[in-house]
């Protein structure tokens, strides 16, 4: 018969302790990680604690839990596990990630986490260290997959950025294209205008997406554009380039770059090209930053005169975007899987042994 899990106080499972002060003046170059409330933020020549260790924020950033495999220096802004009481350190790291740290911040009237309050929390524990290790290994495998996806996504983003720099300035030409590139004013290629802004009181639960300066802000029963449009945020966080859905309401906080009447320029290419531009030079106003139509219409861009080359470039960059989106979707599904596994494994609902 498999032994049951048991409830106990966290203070019987681990002993938490406040970290140690380490001023910048006292730090010496070395390979020992200095762990603060936000993770590893520096390196030092001397370790204060042996690894593996588990560290969380005492004040400042609260809620993150870090597993440190090597010897380390826990900073004064952190709480670290001084004694694991024979429990598996990696399992303890996952267990502590289930604690609602924010609820216990300032509970004693002082901003930050009081270890005595945390020690009184009730936790659910497996009967053996062997089961702890099996749970930790399973969750660690998923974390390894997530880490690999993070690195792959970062690499793909760098590759896309390099491709944009090469392809959108004519530095690298795709095979078969040799024609000259042209310099055009944006206002000569598209209609530029701001649409009517509607108040949030008119938003509906269902309906067409409403686009503000930086993307979708709600839904509305009507639409003012029946084709996909490129927009540039012209108020607040100015210069952000977006692409709308086919049927949508675009508010006056976004400047519409309407190319419905221009068949000489590929819309997808224009979207990628405008995303690569720096529109900060057009921002005016100190109290309320904005981009106005006149200077934006005069903004110069360089593009191939051959629409076929525009289309070919857009296809390359769009394919890279789709690959990135698929990887990001896979990462989100893996994160959801990890959350589900933590719910099952850290409550004893699913047993591995």
Give the model's pLDDT for residue 61.
Answer: 84
Q: Which residues of the chain have pLDDT under 50?
A: none
Largest CA distance in the chain: 79
Query: Is the link from the previous residue into 73 a cis peptide, with omega within 30 of 0?
Result: no
Q: Where does residue 135 fall: left (phi above 0), alpha (psi -120 to 50 degrees), or beta otherwise?
A: alpha
**Do the bridges between strand 6-9 and strand 122-125 make them parallel or antiparallel, or are there none, so unpaired?**
antiparallel
Among the residues of 242-306, which ranges form H helices? 267-275, 293-297
pLDDT in tens, 109-128: 556 888 998 999 999 999 99
Closest CA to 36 of 25, 51, 23, 50: 23
> 313 and 165 in contact (C-beta within 8 Å)?
no
Give the model's pLDDT for residue 63.
Answer: 87
Give the contacts of 148 (CB within 8 A, at least 6 positions apart). none
Distances from the Cα of 14 to the Cα of 7, 40, 102, 123, angstroms:
14, 22, 19, 11
Angle between helices 307-345 and 267-275 (to 10 degrees): 70
Give the model's pLDDT for residue 24.
Answer: 92
Give the model's pLDDT for residue 23.
Answer: 94
pLDDT in tens, 194-223: 999 999 999 999 999 999 998 999 999 999
Delineate the domains of the chain, giving CATH numbers in brackets.
6-125 (3.90.220.20), 128-178+307-353 (1.10.287.1120), 180-305 (3.90.220.20)
Give the model's pLDDT for residue 109.
Answer: 55
Other beta carbons within 10 Å of 294: 10
Closest CA to 188 of 281, 240, 260, 262: 262
CA distance 27 to 16: 24
Q: Which residues pair with 15 in a beta bridge?
A: 83
pLDDT in tens, 30-42: 999 999 999 999 9
């Amino acid at each position: 018969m498999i032994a049951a899990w048991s409830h106990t106080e966290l203070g019987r499972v681990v002993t938490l302790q406040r970290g140690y002060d380490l001023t910048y003046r006292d730090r010496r170059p070395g390979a020992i990680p200095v762990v603060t409330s936000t993770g590893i933020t520096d390196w030092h020549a001397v370790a204060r604690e042996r690894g593996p260790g588990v560290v969380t924020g005492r004040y400042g950033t609260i809620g993150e839990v870090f597993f440190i495999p090597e010897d380390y220096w826990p900073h004064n802004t952190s709480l670290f596990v001084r004694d694991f009481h024979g429990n598996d350190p990696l399992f303890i790291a996952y267990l502590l990630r289930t604690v609602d740290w924010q609820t216990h911040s300032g509970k004693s009237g002082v901003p930050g986490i009081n270890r005595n309050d945390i020690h009184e929390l009730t936790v659910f524990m497996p009967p053996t260290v062997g089961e702890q290790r099996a749970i930790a290994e399973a969750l660690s495998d998923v974390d390894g997959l997530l880490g690999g996806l993070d690195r792959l996504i970062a690499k793909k983003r760098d590759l896309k950025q390099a491709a944009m720099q090469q392809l959108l300035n004519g530095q690298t030409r795709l095979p078969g294209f040799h024609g000259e590139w042209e310099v055009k004013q944006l206002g000569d290629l598209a209609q530029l205008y701001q649409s009517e802004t509607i108040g949030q009181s008119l938003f509906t639960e269902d309906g067409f997406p409403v686009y503000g300066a930086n993307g979708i802000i709600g839904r509305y029963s009507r639409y003012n554009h029946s084709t996909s449009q490129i927009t540039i945020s012209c108020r607040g966080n100015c210069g952000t380039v977006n692409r709308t859905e086919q049927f949508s309401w675009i508010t006056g906080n976004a400047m519409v770059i309407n190319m419905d009447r221009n068949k000489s320029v590929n819309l997808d290419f224009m979207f990628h090209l405008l995303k690569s531009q720096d529109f900060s030079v057009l921002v005016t106003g100190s109290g309320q930053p904005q981009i106005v139509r006149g200077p934006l219409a005069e903004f110069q861009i360089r593009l191939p005169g051959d629409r076929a080359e525009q289309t070919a470039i857009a296809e390359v960059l769009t394919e890279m975007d789709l690959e990135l989106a698929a990887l990001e979707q896979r990462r989100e599904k893996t994160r959801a899987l990890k959350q589900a596994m933590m719910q099952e494994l850290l409550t004893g609902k699913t047993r591995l042994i």
